Amino acid sequence: MDLGIKRRKALVCAASKGLGKACAMSLAREGVDVTIVARTAGPLADTAEEIRKAADVHVTAVATDITTPEGRAEALAACPAPDILVNNAGGPPPGDFRDWDRDIWIKALDANMLTPIELIKATVDHMIERRFGRVVNITSAAVKAPIDILGLSNGARAGLTGFVAGLARKTVRHNVTINALLPGPFDTDRLRSNLQVVADNAGRPVEEVARERADGNPAGRFGDPAEFGEACAFLCAAQAGYITGQNILLDGGAFPGTL
């Protein structure tokens, strides 16, 4: 299926590894020119090269912290009017809410709620003018079913989800959609470090905890980031203009609800 987005421009945040990288790769394979952002220059340059080898597109790498105003300005200078915006950033650390002061909360809100909102604000009017725009927010399965040790993520992402629910119904008239992909457990560095925390707390080997978690998923495994990237590319397709304001779970069926 041709997704009809060749030569479109995408800004993909937090994209040197994991889910962001997979989204950038899938978009590039559809012929989209991608600007990828991450803080650490080395792995980012490696990912840019990997994408160039896999797809005949322009790849621009911007090594910056997307959760800061300066970082967002740098990313937008490199890709001022994207047709596609993939919002992503590192997730907040796990812990007990009794240990979190205001500064810790503000950091989580900045990364996982206010940064995506700022980037939408900076790009959505250009999309509306061109009558094409696709925004995909990478949030978390925690938006549907909270994860106890990830209270910062539960809170910040729910805030973003509520805001987007309103805006997505305003922009769709102009063929600008805003949706969220909610990852369950995908096999990335982030998942591995969360499993390490669980294993350390329980005094168990991380491999054992990982195996148990994977087995406990209805699919019997963790998700492959490439599967996530392909779902992102579809939401960005020309054909996906009637899908907006949706929160799509990719969790192997782990969420137990009928709907």
- Residues lying near ligand NAP in the complex (CB under 6 A) are found at 14-20, 37-40, 43, 65-67, 88-91, 138, 140-141, 183, 185-186, 188-191
CB of 4 to ligand NAP, least distance (A): 27
- The DSSP symbol for 136 reads E
Alpha-carbon torsion angle 2, 8, 11, 15, nearest 10: 40
CB of 252 to ligand NAP, least distance (A): 11
Q: Which CB atom, from 153 or from 171, has the smaller least distance to ligand NAP?
A: 153
Give the C-alpha separation, 214 to 252, whole Å.
Answer: 10
Q: Which CB atom, from 163 or from 174, has the smaller least distance to ligand NAP?
A: 163
Q: Which CB atom, from 108 or from 176, has the smaller least distance to ligand NAP?
A: 108
Q: Which CB atom, from 79 or from 176, has the smaller least distance to ligand NAP?
A: 79
CB of 168 to ligand NAP, least distance (A): 20
Q: Which CB atom, from 77 or from 173, has the smaller least distance to ligand NAP?
A: 77
Q: Which CB atom, from 107 or from 170, has the smaller least distance to ligand NAP?
A: 107
CB of 242 to ligand NAP, least distance (A): 26
Q: Please state at what angle helix 18-29 crosses helix 225-235, rounded to 10 degrees.
A: 50
Q: Hey, what are 11's tokens?
A: 């800004």
Query: From the CB of residue 230, how many other CB atoms can be counted at a distance below 10 Å?
Result: 16
CA nearest 60: which of 44, 72, 43, 81? 44
Tokens 């896999």 label which residue? 54
CB of 80 to ligand NAP, least distance (A): 18
Give the C-alpha separation, 196 to 211, whole Å.
Answer: 12
Edge-to-edge strand list for the sheet holding 247-250 = 59-63, 33-38, 9-12, 84-87, 133-138, 176-183, 247-250
CB of 209 to ligand NAP, least distance (A): 14
Rg (CA), the chain: 18
Give the C-alpha separation, 13 to 137, whole Å.
Answer: 10
